[in-house]
Structure 1
Amino acid sequence: KCNVHRRTIQRELIDMGIHYRKQKRAPRYTEKQIEEVSTRVRRLYRTSLNNDVELIMNDEKYFTLTNESVSTNRGFYTSDPSATPSEVKFKRIQKYPAKLLGWTAISEKGISKPFFAKQTQTISERAYLKKCIEARLMPFLNSYHNIEKVLFWPDLVPKEKYPQNCHQARPIETIGQILEEKVYGGGCEAKTIDQLKRRIQRQLKRIDMKSVQAMFSSIRKQLRKIAHKGPFAACSF
């Protein structure tokens, strides 16, 4: 134990330019994955240098009736816990809560019509092509984009071509987090899957497209960082 006052240590650290930094979340990579991500990002970055390229992304996200990760859903206010009803004091957790899968495609020009599937439904490759690609992605591309200029960066596939687990360069991941906050904001809980679906659809329409465009405009910069310095270079502090 040092016989030095805490404020003295703090002043010394400040004088040396040393500051406390909070750790940020970042993908977990093996050495092989770091090399693969950098190689694939360099390829994608070179392609993106063509100003005629129109980048499209898609993502899948699971939603539950309530979300405990949202702070407003974690607690309650009371002056007397003993008088508080048990349904308020305790959050009853199902072992296998009902889930809803949501699929969307997005670009700086807009968001596609979403596709939803209940957890109990298994989406085959054929159903995915028909319900997501043919029924939603293609109409979206035809409405907002020149098909010949489209560069489609799907989630995870094809693995040999696109960088995996590269959320820091995919704004759709951030948009998914924003959507989640909107869906569950204010302690909102859905009673049924259909109610949850309607709420997601409403909140999707309220996504600020100017923010989306700003995120897409920074993709090339993020790709350049990863291509030159590795995947952690694009994880902001």
Structure 2
Amino acid sequence: MGIRYYKKKRAPKYTEKQLQEIPIRACHFYRELLKYDYELVVDAEKYFLLHNASVPTNRGFYSSDRHTTAPDVKFKRTKKFEPKLLARLMPFIDSYHTKEKVLFWPDLASSHYDHNVIHYLNDNKVKFVPIECNPQNCP
């Protein structure tokens, strides 16, 4: 019969508003890049944790009685943002780029536009793409 099974590919689900904003934001961003001689630093990290809890087998614990197990073993205290992640950007820029010419292009993750991150970038005089000009899933 010629019928075969094919695995579905994953693709982002967009709203109509997002689909309309993508070309507008991309054109605006492209024009901004043409105006200045920027060195573009793109945020293209992979999302994983910096501790052993990112390995599924390390998420639990063994105990004969979980009620007598110490709290530091039973509970994994988590922070909203991993420590020192912000500090990695500046050494990279200082080592490989001229800070005045850098334009940092983060993805649209809310953590990249947190007020602490924005203050950090402004304090270090790093220009970045504002959220209202950042196109979805580009580049």
TM range (shorter): 0.5 to 0.7
Pairwise CA distance, 1:152? 0.6
The DSSP-based 3-state class of the residue aligned with 1:56 is: strand
Residues of 2 paired with 1:30 and 1:56: CA distance? 28
Partner of 1:65: 55
Residues of 1 paired with 2:31 and 2:7: CA distance? 33
The DSSP-based 3-state class of the residue aligned with 1:32 is: helix
Partner of 1:25: 10
Deviating above 6 A after TM superposition, structure 1's stretches of 4 or more consecutive aligned residues are: none
Partner of 1:89: none
Q: How does 1:196-235 map to 2 (within 5 A)?
A: none
Q: How does 1:61-210 map to 2 (within 5 A)?
A: 61-63=47-49, 64-66=54-56, 97=59, 120-123=77-80, 131-133=84-86, 135-156=87-108, 157=113, 158-164=130-136, 166=137, 169=139
Partner of 2:25: 40
The DSSP-based 3-state class of the residue aligned with 1:40 is: helix
Residues of 2 paired with 1:56 and 1:41: CA distance? 16
Q: What TM-score results when the alignment is normalised by the length of structure 1?
A: 0.33
Residues of 2 paired with 1:32 and 1:45: CA distance? 20
Larger Rg, first or second structure (1 or 2): 1
Structure 2 vs 1, CA of residues 50 and 23 (structure 1 numbering), >3 Å: closer, same or farther?
Answer: farther
The DSSP-based 3-state class of the residue aligned with 2:78 is: coil
Residues of 1 paired with 2:7 and 2:39: CA distance? 36
Question: Sequence identity, in percent?
Answer: 42
Residues of 1 paired with 2:9 and 2:37: CA distance? 34
Residues of 2 paired with 1:42 and 1:142: CA distance? 29
Alignment root-mean-square deviation, CA? 3.4
Q: What TM-score results when the alignment is normalised by the length of structure 2?
A: 0.52
Residues of 1 paired with 2:34 and 2:105: CA distance? 15
The DSSP-based 3-state class of the residue aligned with 1:160 is: helix
Q: Which has the higher strand share?
A: 1
How many residue pairs align between the two structures? Answer: 97
Pairwise CA distance, 1:137? 0.9
